[in-house]
Amino acid sequence: MSTNSRYLSILAAVLMSSMTVAVVAAEVSAVFDPKTCKAEYPKASLMNEEQGTVSMSFLVASDGSVTESKLDKTSGFKNLDKAAMKSISACKFKPGTKDGSPAQTWAKVDYAWKLD
């Protein structure tokens, strides 16, 4: 067997073993369902015709409840940001998993406020 062939065989074996580890140690983030959980448009924001997208992160427990939240990017309007954070924090998420079992994970949510 040539040196190149041996090198490729070793490289392939290393890649296969690292892929197996990655699959076993997989983490799946919690999921938010926007169809079942919506925020109410703040009245002042409606009157001022405010629109924008709020980017947030939520730490979701293994039972689907939110234990912590943080604002990642503002919509540009405090009322919209507060309403989204409050409403989505109260929602039930589909819990994330680690190694196939329900676990506490972070979920990122972008909530778009749009006027019709």
Give me the DSSP letters along 59-102.
EE-TTS-EEEEEEEE--S-HHHHHHHHHHHHTSPPBPEEETTEE
Is 6 inside any structural domain? no
Contact call for residues 58 and 68 (beta carbons, < 8 A): yes
Tens-place pLDDT, residues 55-112: 999 999 999 999 999 999 999 999 999 999 999 999 999 999 999 999 999 999 999 9
Give the whole-angstrom CA distance, residue 40 versus residue 46: 10
| Domain membership of residue 85 as a residue range | 29-113
Is 15 inside any structural domain? no
Is 10 inside any structural domain? no
Of 12 and 34, the structure prediction assigns the larger pLDDT to 34
pLDDT of residue 26: 87
Is 17 inside any structural domain? no
Contact call for residues 52 and 76 (beta carbons, < 8 A): yes
The identity of residue 38, as a single letter, is: K
41-48: average pLDDT: 97
Is 2 inside any structural domain? no
Is 67 inside any structural domain? yes
Name the token pair of 36. 């079942």
Residue 3 has pLDDT above 70, yes or no: no
How many domains, the chain?
A: 1
55 class by beta-carbon count within 10 Å (0-12 exposed, 13-18 middle, 19+ buried) = middle
**Size (the chain), residues:** 116
Is 84 inside any structural domain? yes
CATH number of domain containing 104 = 3.30.1150.10
Is 98 inside any structural domain? yes
Of 34 and 104, the structure prediction assigns the larger pLDDT to 104
